[in-house]
């Protein structure tokens, strides 16, 4: 068994072994990263390829952009997705647009690792899930792995991608254990997975929330409701075909995510399903309220999208009451 964090580290190490143009830069990499994602890599590859940067996200992203355009493949560590906002101009106005603005003469193959999500009372500036911001930007690929196997295979794919990838790992998943085969390879970006099969309702989710959806499906199964859980894995491109095929079977769709519901990526999925599917009940969305994330655990928990909340929404959609 391998943890989510170790799977990501294995992907980075193997990419660096296979391709000398792959290198890492970011704050705290000299001590292995703030969460230990790079532990041992500086000793293995040296400070020239695992670069400990000053505290300036804009400088880190700007250096990575220029280095990528001149032939290398930087893995950029932003520590928290919240901190990456300091480097939005370099990512959104430069990296995302370079291939288009230079008529395909240049590419920016950077992988920007942005840990997301609520984690141990980290409060309003260290807990956000901002994936919808990046799916809105043409030129960016957005990935949200939910399992150790995906954190290995999708990170490998991200590093090999010729476009800039915003790679969002949920902090609560760092200790999650799972099988990562020794012969595992990079997976194609843009392919969803059916995590739980069912025939009554489709639950679409990603990142840590997909595990809450799976728990809800298990609870609902005991009540005779078959919930099919789709793990999107990649938000852009996202697997419309897999979602629509599932909804064609179930006739119902719930989108659940930890990010704020207002203008969240769930709205894009809901609109697409509404345009293409014949439904038995209205599409439902479940996300966090539009409120800053509190430090106090009791207040923080109010904002969480849990298995119980997902199960209750599905019961409403199917007209089945909870078992007493």
Listed in sequence order, the residues at least 6 apart from 322 whose beta carbon sits closer than 8 Å to its beta carbon are: 223, 311, 312, 315
Residues 112, 91: Cα–Cα separation, whole Å = 9
242-268 pLDDT, tens digit per residue, is 999 999 999 999 999 999 999 999 999
Name the domain count of the chain. Answer: 2
What range defines the domain where residue 220 resides?
A: 193-318
Q: What is the pLDDT of residue 322?
A: 60
Same domain, 45 and 153: yes
Structure tokens at 146: 């939910």
d(CA 116, CA 75): 17
Q: Cα–Cα–Cα angle for 185, 6, 193, nearest 5°?
A: 45
Residue (of 309, 237, 231, 244) closest to 271 by Cα position: 244
Q: How far is CA 138 from CA 74, 133, 134, 149, in A?
A: 20, 11, 9, 28
User: Is this structure's pTM higher than 0.75?
Assistant: yes
Q: Among all residues, which ones are annotated catalytic? A: 126
* pLDDT, tens digit, 9 for 90 and up, residues 22-54: 999 999 999 999 999 999 999 999 999 999 999
Is the same domain home to 126 and 258?
Answer: no
Q: Are residues 59 and 95 in the same domain?
A: yes
Q: Judge if 17 and 143 occupy the same domain.
A: yes
Query: Tell me: the pLDDT tens digits for 81-134?
Result: 999 999 999 999 999 999 999 999 999 999 999 999 998 889 999 999 999 999
User: 97 with 200, same domain?
Assistant: no
Residue 185 counted as domain residue = no
Locate 160 and state its tokens: 């090999």
Residues 97 and 161 in one domain: yes
Structural domain contains residue 307: yes
CATH, residue 203: 3.40.50.920
């Amino acid at each position: 068994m391998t943890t989510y964090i170790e799977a990501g580290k294995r992907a980075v190490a193997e990419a660096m072994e296979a391709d000398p143009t792959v290198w890492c830069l970011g704050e705290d990499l000299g001590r292995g990263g703030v969460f230990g994602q790079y532990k041992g890599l500086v000793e293995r590859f040296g400070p020239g390829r695992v670069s400990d940067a000053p505290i300036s996200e804009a400088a880190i992203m700007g250096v990575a952009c220029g280095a990528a355009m001149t032939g290398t493949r930087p893995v950029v560590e932003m520590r928290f997705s919240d901190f990456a906002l300091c480097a939005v101009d370099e990512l959104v106005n430069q990296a995302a647009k370079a291939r288009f603005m230079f008529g395909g003469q240049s590419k920016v193959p950077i992988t920007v690792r942005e840990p997301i999500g609520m984690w141990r009372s980290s409060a309003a500036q260290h807990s956000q899930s901002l994936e919808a911001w990046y799916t809105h930007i043409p030129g960016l690929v957005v990935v949200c792995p939910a399992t150790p196997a995906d954190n290995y295979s999708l990170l490998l794919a991200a590093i090999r991608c010729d476009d800039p990838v915003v790679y969002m790992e949920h902090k609560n998943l760092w200790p999650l254990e799972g099988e990562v085969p020794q012969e595992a390879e990079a997976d194609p970006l843009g392919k969803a997975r059916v995590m739980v099969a069912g025939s009554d309702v489709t639950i679409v989710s990603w990142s840590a929330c997909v595990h809450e959806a799976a728990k809800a499906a298990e609870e609902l199964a005991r009540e005779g409701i078959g919930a099919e859980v789709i793990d999107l894995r990649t938000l852009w491109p996202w697997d419309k075909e897999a979602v629509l095929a599932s909804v064609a079977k179930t006739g119902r769709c719930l989108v659940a995510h930890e990010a704020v519901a207002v203008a969240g990526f769930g709205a894009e999925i809901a609109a697409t399903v509404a345009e293409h599917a014949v439904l038995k009940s209205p599409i439902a969305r479940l996300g966090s309220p539009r409120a800053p994330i509190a430090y106090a655990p009791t207040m923080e928990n109010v904002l969480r999208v849990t298995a119980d909340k997902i199960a209750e929404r599905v019961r409403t959609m199917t007209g089945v009451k909870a078992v007493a």
